[in-house]
């Protein structure tokens, strides 16, 4: 099967079809510019068809024995394992990520499929006491119905699968709109896995389109009760506003500005390893990436020398080559924006300890030091291979600097004293923080999400059950009630 030939379509009510729009989304390989696929956009009418198909199919699916539902996810896991090499190639070609990144993404996607197998059995009912004699209160956990998923380009197979598999396992139906830069790995490929796994038609629908064609149709349509969105905080604010005005629930995974903090008693070599990965994984195009490297002044020189040495040794180039560390960023626009950002930082007084070149979509790694803490660049998300390195004097200043950000997604601290690290982590205003590790982590059972402008709500494990189901109270009056009139 050629993924980019066979799966670059709309998938509505179990049928692969061409969109009804008048223009195409072109899917390019960001490394070599090769045209991978062309997808005619879906229209507002096709968004409605997808949601109505999901609504029809969901009723029977919700009534299906959960032990039967989970068989679909067992098969989906086996299919993903069988096709892993092909999926790695597709992710590498469509996103420009290295093979190591693609393998890491599939590894996590498989973990979330394993969790979906269990999620089918998670929802539990409760019987609660009543102050009314003869009354029994039953509280059921039930699917919300239909969920709209809007996935990003950076980890499309993982983040698409994470919401889609969980939503389906809990008895919902899904309409997903993948990012325009990843219509196959974030849409058609996931649909094909579930189609081949025996998922009934209509339960998963893929809409490849753009807001220039459909506006807010995915958000305002009356069928979906929950919107799961991963992307920038700018778009996330709009999603939150539109969904709230229509009493829909939104789960938002948004931008980050993570700090990786190195205290005076840290293992410097280990902290350098964590920092290099946390900043440069997938060219820095990751919401959890360590934007800011904050180092205690007493160890600044040693850390800086070792860190910059490691960064200079990173290979930038063809993502299909096994020894490539940094592939292309997603587009020429992004490459030019990053170049301009570095120029701006230097103009503001930063020192370029490592200054990478920009060659097409390849942006070599850069390390900037000494940028003023009040610079706007210190408080924004940098979606590319640019590290900001600053020093601090003592823990109190480190806490203050780490918290001086409108974002609060992830972070890490390195120290020789674990409990000191935990105490530090508890003071940082983020949804996630890691002691003696990197900033980039996601696990199926642990609540994932951010504070401040980094998002709203949580996913994974019990948090996913909370997000994608609702509670229904049914009371039973076993004896006769007495009414006042």
N- to C-terminal Cα distance for the chain?
A: 71
CA diameter of the chain: 83
Quick check: is 287 catalytic? yes
* Three-class SS of 239-271: HHHHHHHCCCEEEEECCCCEEEEECCCCCHHHH
Could you give the CA distance from residue 387 to residue 370 in angstroms, rounded to a whole number? Answer: 11
Helices (H) and strands (E) in the chain, counts: 16, 24
**Displacement of CA 402 from its chain's centroid (Å):** 22
Which runs of consecutive H residues, i.e. helices, occur in 281-387?
Answer: 300-312, 332-347
Annotated active-site residue in 111, 213, 287, 395: 287
Neighbour tally for 269: CB within 10 Å: 11
Specify the length of the chain in residues.
485
Helix (H) or strand (E) holding 438: none
Q: Which of 111, 115, 253, 364 is catalytic?
A: 253
Cβ burial of 482 (10 Å; 0-12, 13-18, 19+) is exposed
The answer to whether residues 155 and 141 touch, using CB atoms and an 8 Å cutoff, is no
Distance CA 209, CA 395 (A): 48
294: three-class secondary structure by DSSP: strand
Interior CA angle at 75 toward 12 and 154, to 5°? 60
Active site residue 253: yes
- By annotation, the residues acting in catalysis are 253, 287
């Amino acid at each position: 099967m050629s993924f980019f030939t066979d799966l670059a379509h709309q998938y509505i009510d179990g049928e692969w079809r061409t969109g009804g729009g008048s223009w195409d989304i072109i899917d390019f390989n960001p490394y070599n510019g090769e045209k991978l696929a062309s997808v005619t956009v879906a229209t507002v009418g096709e968004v409605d068809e997808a949601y109505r198909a999901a609504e029809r199919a969901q009723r029977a699916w919700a009534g299906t024995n959960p032990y039967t539902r989970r068989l679909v996810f067992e098969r989906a896991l086996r299919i993903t394992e069988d096709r892993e090499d092909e999926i790695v190639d597709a992710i590498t070609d469509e996103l420009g990520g290295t093979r190591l990144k693609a393998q890491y993404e599939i590894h996590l996607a498989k973990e979330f499929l394993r969790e979906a197998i269990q999620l089918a059995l998670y929802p539990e009912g409760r019987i609660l006491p009543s102050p009314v004699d003869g009354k029994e209160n039953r509280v059921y956990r039930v699917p919300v119905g239909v969920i709209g998923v809007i996935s990003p380009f950076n980890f499309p197979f993982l983040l698409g699968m994470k919401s889609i598999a969980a939503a389906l396992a809990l008895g919902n139906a899904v309409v997903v709109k993948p990012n325009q830069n990843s219509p196959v790995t974030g849409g058609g490929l996931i649909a094909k896995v579930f189609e081949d796994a025996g998922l009934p038609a209509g339960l998963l629908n893929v809409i490849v389109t753009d807001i220039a064609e459909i506006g807010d149709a995915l958000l305002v349509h009356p069928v979906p009760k929950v919107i799961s969105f991963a992307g920038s905080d700018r778009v996330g604010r709009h999603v939150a506003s539109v969904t709230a005005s229509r009493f829909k629930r939104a789960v938002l995974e948004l931008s980050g500005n993570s700090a990786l903090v190195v205290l005076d008693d840290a293992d410097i070599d280990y902290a350098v390893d964590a920092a290099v990965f946390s900043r440069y994984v997938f060219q820095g195009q990751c919401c959890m990436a360590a934007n800011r490297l904050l180092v205690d002044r007493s160890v600044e020189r040693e850390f800086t020398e070792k860190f910059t040495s490691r960064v200079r040794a990173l290979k930038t180039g063809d993502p299909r080559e096994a020894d490539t560390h940094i592939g292309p960023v997603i587009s020429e626009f992004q490459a030019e924006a990053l170049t301009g950002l570095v120029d701006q930082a230097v103009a503001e007084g930063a020192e370029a300890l490592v200054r990478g070149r920009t060659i097409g979509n390849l942006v070599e790694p850069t390390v900037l030091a000494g940028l003023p803490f009040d610079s706007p660049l210190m408080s924004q998300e940098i979606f590319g291979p640019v590290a900001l390195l600053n020093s601090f004097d003592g823990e109190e200043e480190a806490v203050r600097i780490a918290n001086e950000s409108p974002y609060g997604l992830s972070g890490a601290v390195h120290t020789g004293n674990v409990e000191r690290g935990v105490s530090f982590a508890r003071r940082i205003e983020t949804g996630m923080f890691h002691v003696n590790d990197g900033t980039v982590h996601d696990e199926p059972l642990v609540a994932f999400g951010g504070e401040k402008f980094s998002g709203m709500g949580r996913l994974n494990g019990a948090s996913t059950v909370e997000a994608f189901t609702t509670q229904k109270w049914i009371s039973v009056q076993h004896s006769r009630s007495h009414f006042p009139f």
